[in-house]
Chains A and B, each alone.
Chain A
Amino acid sequence: MTGNTEKIKLKLAKRYAKEKRFRLYGISAIAVSIAFLLSLLINISVTGFPAFQQTYVNIDVDIDSKLLNLNSQYSEQDLFRANYSKVIKQSLKTMFPGVKGRKQKRALRQLVSKSAIYQLRDFVINNPSVLDTKQSLWFLARDDVDVFMKGGIDRSLPESDRRLKDFQLVWVDKLLAQDRLEKRFNIGFFTEGDSREPEQAGIKGAIVGSLLTMLVTMFMSFPIGVAAAIYLEEFAPKDNKWVDLIEININNLAAVPSIVFGLLGLAVFIGLFGVPRSVPLIGGLVLTLMTLPTIIITSRAALKAVPPSIREAALGLGASRVQTTFHHVVPAAMPGILTGTIIGMAQALGETAPLLMIGMVAFIANVPQGITDPSTVLPVQIYLWSDSPERAFTERTSAAIMVLLGFLIVMNFLAVIMRKKFEKKW
């Protein structure tokens, strides 16, 4: 008797140790994943955060109509076409007298963004009375100045290793001393389309493009996916080899690499139906193909989870099969279906590979107005910026990643809330 107890005690200790070890493995696995996630998030936020600020530079602009090449009777057209870059060049020269040499003159122009020309143009067109007056105006600073203001350029490096040379730093110091350089919240990042000048680049185009594409995807994939799931789960004959074949194919499609759907979209929608390239319509159609299997599979799981007693009760009370399905089963399964759809959409939101094939990986500066205007989507914008040579794009890349992550978190959060709110316990 005592021998047995001893044996059991020994074994018990071993079992406890085993359990402890397993818990330790589990915790360390979670710790490692959290460490990876945190380092990624911290890295992205640290690089991306500066992008939410933008340096502005103040310049006294002498809006001389002679320099603008305007005579006394100018039309709106003349105002639009006038040479504003000359005016800005001249104003900078007055602010920094004694700049000589082609290289230095050129560098002086590069203190302000190229957008200053168009900003000044719009300002003059809206207020023609400012002609031949001196105005103190704030313009976007060039990317190099902006990077410097955010501490991205180290003054102590030898001159040849810096993007800003010594003479440029003298100008920047002078501007700083006169309070003519200022960091402000970067509204443009959220209200502008893409640009090749980092200081002007914004993600509005990509956000609107993503929203339009997702709209198309939702309006296509939700009805088709749910209808297919309902038919397969509630109406399709059981033990039919065709139904089995379809089932296997749907499960397979869910695992097909997304680029394949891009090729399919290229061949069918663009090649056969003549849908234009690079528009949210084609993007949405291709992503529909990609999300359909996900939606069908999750919707079927949700329908399957509705207890058979509900169906039997409804049928027993004399409801038809269609009535049973649409009045009782589908409403009960709706939270699960919606969760699956949202997760499928979130997946589609982060997709780039299939869009490469259908021309959505492109430079598009205009913000799209509808589903037939060329546009890109958020992940593509991130990819394009990460591939740009200009240094200032690195922070914008990370900032765009933050925005995309924000959208994904909101969508997944919505899915969780819906599930919590509408979930039924049987």
Chain B
Amino acid sequence: MKNIYKSTMVVAVSSAILSFSHLATARDHIDVVGSSTVYPFSTVVAETYGKKTGGKTPKIESTGSGGGMKLFCAGNGINTPDITNASRRIKLSEYNKCQKNGVKDIVEVMIGFDGIAIANSKKGPTFNLSRRELFLALAKQVPGEKTGTLIDNPYTKWSDISWNLPNTKIEVLGPPPTSGTRDAFAELALQGGCFTYDWIKQIKKDSKIAKKSGNKTLASQLKKKYKTICHSVREDGAYVEVGENDNLIVEKLRANPKALGVFGFSFLDQNSDVVKGAVIDGVNIDFEAISDGSYPISRPLYFYVKKSHVGKIPGIKEFIAEFTNEDTWGEDGYLTDKGLIPLSDDERQKMSDSANSLTPLKM
């Protein structure tokens, strides 16, 4: 009796271990990770792909662009993701890490643009801001009167910055530093405004010159310097971090007509009865303005495919084909319903060709 018990235990344990190793080799669905900005688009394509082909719908995790790259570049094993989404281009350091871990051929697909809206309640005034004014309102330190000096941000009201802005407290609700939206906002809006000061821009130029002449330490020092000036957001309560939930920001703007919020264009598009976008550098945020690049705070979105998994995991090619279909990402495609700003016709054609022929990325 005892022996039977013992042997069943042995069988159970060994079969459990076997089934684990078996699990590690068999996977019949595509595994996608990456940016939370691309997530709403990627999921719609995945769902349509599943319904159209009758195959398994890809699994999509929202890990953030950086987190996605980390998982994606971890190796070539079947346990690693097949595709990663990113709301920015892959960094050289990430590409090198991928190469080092054996992920040699990566196919890059740019899918369209996403605008970042600065919006407030419909009940409030319409803001007409320049990027310089945004920088002055939100930076931790702003340039002082003398060139090359910085002072702690003294502005408490919008009207302190410019006479034609409303006489209300500066209060901006936005995503925390972990968010890709915040990265892009700092890079495009704040840095854009920052570089309207010549001496700050000069630091960047100096850094590039230093890099060319081979002085890497000086280059990275200078780079760090201008990034600290341009990307540091004030911490005295004028900028409120509201977590990564854009719906929450919209709700708070509805309740507080004096505040401004920073979030993705698709949320503005869906909540156009509650909030309105600010005019930035004289350009109103809408589909056309983001698409032709005149709205300054917009960024391209990408996904990256692990070529070595094509053929091992069923459906990757078909998924790419679905994504790069005119009905999907074209001007009338269903992704535009979700707020994606499509690429131009030429770019779409070029992207589609290189994606479907699985042309690997070179950096």
Q: Which residues of A contact B (CB under 8 A)?
A: 80, 102, 106, 110, 114-115, 118, 157, 160-163, 195-197, 273-278, 359, 361-366, 372, 374, 386-391, 394
Query: How near does chain B come to A175, taking the closest CB pair, in angstroms?
Result: 20
B51 within 8 A of A: yes
User: How long is the Cα–Cα vector from A126 to B35 in the complex, in angstroms?
Assistant: 40
Q: Which 4 A-B pairs have the closest CB atoms?
A: A365-B57, A362-B61, A363-B60, A161-B273
Residue in chain A with minimal CB distance to B50: A365
In angstroms, Cα B269 to Cα A374, docked, is 32
A406 CB, nearest partner CB in chain B, Å:
24
The residue that A363 contacts in the complex, of B46, B54, B247, with Cβ under 8 A, is B46
Chain B residues in contact with chain A, CB under 8 A?
19-21, 23-24, 27, 29, 31, 39-40, 42-44, 46-48, 50-51, 54, 56-57, 59-62, 79, 122, 244-247, 264, 266-267, 269-273, 332, 334, 337-339
Contact across chains for B29 and A274 when beta carbons are under 8 A apart: no
Select which of A114, A163, A366 is within 8 A of B273 by beta carbon.
A163
Complex CA distance for A163 and B42, rounded to whole angstroms: 23
Q: Are B246 and A389 in contact (CB under 8 A)?
A: yes
The answer, among A196, A273, A391, for a CB contact under 8 Å with B43, is A196
B59 touches A374 (CB 8 A): yes
Q: What are 23 residue pairs bridging A and B, where the CB atoms are less than 8 Å apart in the complex?
A: A110-B337, A114-B334, A160-B272, A163-B272, A195-B47, A196-B338, A273-B20, A275-B20, A275-B23, A276-B23, A277-B31, A361-B61, A363-B60, A363-B61, A364-B59, A366-B29, A374-B29, A388-B247, A389-B264, A389-B269, A389-B271, A391-B270, A394-B247
Are B339 and A389 in touch, CB under 8 angstroms? yes
Chain B: minimal CB distance from A14 (Å): 47
- Check if B44 sits within 8 Å of A362, measured CB to CB: no
Contact in complex: A276, B24 (CB < 8 Å): yes
**Given contact pairs A273-B20, A275-B23, A362 touches B60 in the complex (Cβ within 8 A):** yes
With a cutoff of 8 Å between Cβ atoms, the chain A residues found around residue B270 in the complex are 163, 389-391
Please state if B122 and A161 are interface contacts (CB–CB under 8 Å).
yes
Q: Which of chain B's residues have a CB closer than 8 A to the CB of A274?
A: 20-21, 23-24, 79
Residues of chain B within 8 A of A386, CB atoms compared:
245, 247
Bound state CA distance, A390 and B244, in angstroms? Answer: 16
Q: Which of B54, B62, B266, B269 has the most CB of A within 10 A?
A: B62
Closest Cβ–Cβ distance, residue B6 to chain A (whole Å) = 17
Residues of B within 8 A of A114 (CB): 48, 334
Nearest CB in chain B to that of A390: its residue: B270
Contact A366 B56 (CB under 8 A): yes
C-alpha spacing A363/B41, complex, angstroms:
11
Determine the distance from Cα of A273 to Cα of B16 in the docked complex, in whole angstroms: 11
Establish whether residues A196 and B40, one from each chain, have CB atoms under 8 Å apart when the complex forms. Answer: yes
Chain B positions within 8 Å of A115 at CB level: 51
CA distance A323 to B56 in the complex (A): 52
- Pick the residue among B39, B57, B332, B334 that contacts A364 (CB under 8 A): B57
CB distance from A216 to the nearest CB of B (A): 12
Residues A80 and B122 in contact, CB atoms below 8 Å apart? no
- Beta-carbon contact of A157 and B39 below 8 Å: no
A102 CB contacts on chain B under 8 angstroms: 332
Interface centre among B27, B40, B269 (most CB of A within 10 A): B40
Residues of A within 8 A of B245 (CB): 386-387
A196 partner residues in chain B, CB cutoff 8 A: 40, 43-44, 47, 338
A51 to chain B, nearest CB (A): 16
**In the complex, chain A residues whose CB is within 8 Å of the CB of B339:** 389
Among residues of B, the one whose C-beta sits closest to the C-beta of A278 is: B59
Contact A106 B332 (CB under 8 A): yes
Chain B proximity of A43: nearest CB distance (Å): 13
Please determine whether A162 and B54 come into contact, CB atoms closer than 8 angstroms: no
> Contact: B56 with A118, CB < 8 Å?
no
Please, which residues of chain A bring their CB within 8 A of the CB of B56?
A: 366
Residue among A196, A273, A277 having the largest count of chain B Cβ atoms under 10 Å: A196
The answer to whether A389 and B267 have CB atoms under 8 Å apart is yes
Which residues of the partner chain B approach A391 to less than 8 Å between Cβ atoms? 270-271
The listed residue (B54, B59, B246, B267) touching A362 by CB distance below 8 A is B59
CB contacts (< 8 Å) of B266 on chain A: these are 389
Cα–Cα distance between A47 and B334 once the two chains are bound (Å)? 28
Contact A372 B23, CB 8 Å, known A163-B273, A196-B47, A389-B339: yes
Contact, CB under 8 Å: B57 / A366: yes
Given A118-B51, A366-B56, 19 additional A-B pairs, CB 8 A: A110-B337, A114-B48, A161-B273, A196-B40, A273-B20, A276-B79, A278-B61, A363-B42, A365-B47, A365-B50, A366-B57, A372-B19, A387-B245, A387-B246, A389-B246, A389-B266, A389-B269, A389-B271, A390-B270
Residues of A near B42 (CB, < 8 A) are 363
Neighbouring A residues of B269 by C-beta, 8 Å: 389
* Chain A positions within 8 Å of B122 at CB level: 161
The residues of B that contact A394 with a CB separation of less than 8 Å are: 247
Shortest beta-carbon distance, A333 to chain B, in Å? 25
The residue on B at minimum CB distance from A374 is: B59
Which residues from B are CB-within-8-Å of A162? 273
Residues of A within 8 A of B264 (CB): 389
| Alpha-carbon gap, A195 to B40, bound state (A) | 11
Inter-chain contacts of A374 with B (CB < 8 A): 29, 59
Chain B residue at minimum C-beta to C-beta distance from A273? B20
Inter-chain contacts of B48 with A (CB < 8 A) = 114
| Contact partners of B46 in chain A: CB under 8 A | 363, 365
B57 touches A362 (CB 8 A): no
